[in-house]
Chain A
Amino acid sequence: MRVVIAEDDTLLREGLVLLLASEGIEVAAAVDNADDFLAAVAAERPDAAVVDVRLPPGFTDEGIAAAAAARRERPGLPVLVLSAYVEDSYATELLAGGADGVGYLLKERVGKVEQFLDALHRVVAGGTVMDPEVVSQLMVRRRADDPVRTLTPREREVLALMAEGLANPDIAERLVVTETAVSKHIRNIFAKLGLAQGDAGHRRVLAVLAYLRS
């Protein structure tokens, strides 16, 4: 796998390169601004891009715009956006241009290398990965009569993992339960929220996110 990295902080950029390289992922280019990033995507034709939300010159959300621009140039380019804090609107903006192959994670998730790589692979495979923080941020803003409140704690955990883009076997592994139990939870969740039983993958993530955002 070949990736392009856009991260303006020198030490973090070098860290990311080191991390990916030591996991056998080739870093085709590591740049510190949006323009170089777009040029690198065009020149290197990577399998995925890892982008920091804040890039020069404005240090606000240039990374989101750069990711969107890269995906306009190369439709379907898997992009994993890293951010120092979770902002629901960033997630919305990212997903606006199509949700397959999009990920949005807090920066510190890279510390759990295995899960980070897993997320990267799922994005490359066309999946959608949302940081658990996005989901919990959306969950706390619920009205009293909201069906989300009728979910059991276990079902909420499953919902959050679904939003992260995990498939049933992965959810079962994370929660240390059987896959059958996971399927049962998911059926309950969809029934309680009145969602159509979705298939696996990013469509399920979208359904959950759309529900949570509504």
Chain B
Amino acid sequence: MGRVRVAAGATRRALPFLLRGLVSSAVALVLLIRVLLVAAFTLIGVGWPAIPSTVRAVRRWAGDERRRVAAWTGRPVPAPYPPPIPDDPAIPTRALLAEPATRRDLAWLLVHGLTGLVAGFLAILLPLSVVNAAVVPVYWWAVPSDEPVQSPYPVTSWLGALGMLPLGLGWLVLTLVLVPLLARWQAGAAARLLAPTKDARLSERVTELTATRAAALEAHGAELRRIERDLHDGTQNRLVGVIMHLGIAERALRRDPASALPLLLKAQDQAADALSELRDVVRSIYPPVLAERGLDGALAALAARCAVPCTLRVDGLRRLPAALEAAAYFVVAEALTNTAKHSGADHAGVTVTLRPPAEPGDEEALVIEVRDDGHGGADESGGSGLAGIRRRVAAFDGHTDVTSPPGGPTVVRAVIPCAS
């Protein structure tokens, strides 16, 4: 009895699956006809431009099928298309056709278009036959005797009607055995044809790893360039300034010693600047607080230290690559310094969020927003603060928006993609 109950459960689950399969195979047939038409037109030379849209239509339908099968089996069926995203119109037709996934999609279209209909009809007919066999003994006498019930033999007597009962049992056994089997077979075939082959999965993984490795190297290179630039534009220029002003002072001493003093003071200022910029560069390479407390801890420390009352909200943060954390820390530190120095604000707010990818193929992004209620009108050319933020963010392929209308508020928003 237990086995019957299991079979009944499996059949109940398999039936709707096969019925939806009936619909999907009807669409697959239509698509198959479209593919054949396009192929024929391509042979006579005019079908080529229709290929990408056809392949994409097949892919969309294959995608629906993947979801249908995955929902039924509880196991996801990954799409085998290599990045870039299959809907990208820039993929040339030839490359599209050369993809093994395209050929496998077509194979599925053929298999499913032909067998899905049969399986679907069986899923309808077998249970109906059981029901019919069960109810024939009830109504056969009501049917006019010159057109008797014909399923599968003419029922013209009570004996014949009773014969329907073992037949119905037979139909029932067939239903319980065949329907789950058909569903399993259909799901299995779809999963095999629509999922990437093992080779494809491996090579996709290799591509992925190659890309992340390249991105890591690139981020490292960007960081080196950033440090070089900070040293060059900051410290080195300040030292040149010291030398220059000492040179001018030297000339002034010969001509008019009294005029040399301001120049010497200027040289001294620039030497002090050089030192403090050098200190900043050293700190910017990797703030020790990041290693100790992580980005959220380090940001909390920054917010607490800020001269303007500052609220901090972090969302979805986890440990990120050190260079990225350092960049985020730098952006917030620099923006808060600007706020404290220039904005006249009573309050500042810092929001740092790890934004999940908007769509597949996108990257996660670290979104950093620093806003204050000051008087606005931030001047990008004035200090090096905003320019420094832009540079630092750009090194990670990110971008920075600064809005600071006169009267405020000032919002610095940086979005840094995180290649994970």
Binding site for B on A (CB under 8 A): 9, 11-12, 15-16, 18-19, 22-23, 54, 59, 84, 107-108, 110-114, 116
Q: Is the CB of A110 within 8 A of B251?
A: no
Chain B proximity of A61: nearest CB distance (Å) = 13
B279 within 8 A of A: no
Chain A proximity of B16: nearest CB distance (Å) = 61
> In the complex where A9-B237, A19-B244, A110-B240 touch, is A84 in contact with B232 (Cβ < 8 A)?
yes
CA A75 – CA B33 in complex, angstroms? 70
> In the complex where A9-B233, A11-B270, A84-B232 touch, is A107 in contact with B248 (Cβ < 8 A)?
no
Contacts of B208-263 to chain A: CB distance below 8 A: 229, 232-233, 236-241, 243-248, 250-252
Query: For A23, what are the chain B residues with a Cβ–Cβ distance below 8 Å?
Result: 251
CA A110 – CA B244 in complex, angstroms? 6
Which residue of chain B has the shortest Cβ distance to A15 in the bound complex?
A: B244
Number of A-B contacts (CB under 8 A): 53
Which residue of chain B has the shortest Cβ distance to A16 in the bound complex?
A: B244
Which residue of chain B has the shortest Cβ distance to A82 in the bound complex?
A: B240
Which residue of chain B has the shortest Cβ distance to A107 in the bound complex?
A: B240
Q: Among the interface residues A19, A22, A59, A111, which one has the most CB atoms of the partner chain B within 10 A?
A: A111
Which residue from B232, B250, B251 sits with its C-beta under 8 Å from A54? B232
User: Given A11-B237, A113-B250, 17 more contacts at CB 8 Å?
Assistant: A9-B233, A12-B237, A12-B244, A19-B244, A19-B247, A22-B251, A23-B251, A54-B232, A54-B233, A84-B240, A110-B243, A110-B244, A111-B240, A111-B243, A111-B244, A111-B246, A113-B248
Binding site for A on B (CB under 8 A): 229, 232-233, 236-241, 243-248, 250-252, 270
Which residue of chain A has the shortest Cβ distance to B239 in the bound complex?
A: A108
Which residue of chain A has the shortest Cβ distance to B252 in the bound complex?
A: A22
Chain A proximity of B419: nearest CB distance (Å) = 23
Q: Is the CB of B238 within 8 A of A11?
A: yes
Q: Is the CB of A110 within 8 A of B238?
A: no
CA A16 – CA B250 in complex, angstroms? 15
Query: For B233, what are the chain A residues with a Cβ–Cβ distance below 8 Å?
Result: 9, 54, 59
A-B complex: 6 closest residue pairs judged by Cβ atoms: A111-B243, A111-B247, A113-B247, A107-B240, A15-B244, A9-B237
Decide if the interface of chain A is mainly helix, strand, loop or mixed.
Answer: helix
Decide if the interface of chain B is mainly helix, strand, loop or mixed.
Answer: helix
Chain B proximity of A203: nearest CB distance (Å) = 31
Q: Is the CB of B251 within 8 A of A11?
A: no
Which residue from A11, A22, A59, A112 sits with its C-beta under 8 Å from B241? A11
Query: For A11, what are the chain B residues with a Cβ–Cβ distance below 8 Å?
Result: 237-238, 241, 270
List 10 interface pairs A-B (beta carbons < 8 Å), by A numbering. A9-B233, A9-B237, A11-B238, A11-B270, A12-B241, A54-B233, A107-B237, A110-B247, A111-B243, A111-B244
Chain A proximity of B242: nearest CB distance (Å) = 8
Q: Is the CB of B240 within 8 A of A12?
A: yes
Which residue of chain A has the shortest Cβ distance to B263 in the bound complex?
A: A18
CA A111 – CA B229 in complex, angstroms? 22
Query: For A12, what are the chain B residues with a Cβ–Cβ distance below 8 Å?
Result: 237, 240-241, 244
Which residue from B239, B241, B250, B251 sits with its C-beta under 8 Å from A15? B241
Query: For A112, what are the chain B residues with a Cβ–Cβ distance below 8 Å?
Result: 247
Query: For B252, what are the chain A residues with a Cβ–Cβ distance below 8 Å?
Result: 22
CA A157 – CA B238 in complex, angstroms? 30
Query: For A110, what are the chain B residues with a Cβ–Cβ distance below 8 Å?
Result: 240, 243-244, 247
Q: Is the CB of A113 within 8 A of B232?
A: no
Which residue from B236, B239, B248 sits with its C-beta under 8 Å from A19? B248
CA A8 – CA B119 in complex, angstroms? 75
Query: For B247, what are the chain A residues with a Cβ–Cβ distance below 8 Å?
Result: 19, 110-113, 116
Query: For A9, what are the chain B residues with a Cβ–Cβ distance below 8 Å?
Result: 233, 237, 241
Query: For A116, what are the chain B residues with a Cβ–Cβ distance below 8 Å?
Result: 247
Chain A proximity of B280: nearest CB distance (Å) = 16
Chain B proximity of A118: nearest CB distance (Å) = 13
Query: For B248, what are the chain A residues with a Cβ–Cβ distance below 8 Å?
Result: 15, 18-19, 22, 113
Which residue of chain B has the shortest Cβ distance to A117 in the bound complex?
A: B251
Q: Is the CB of A84 within 8 A of B250?
A: no
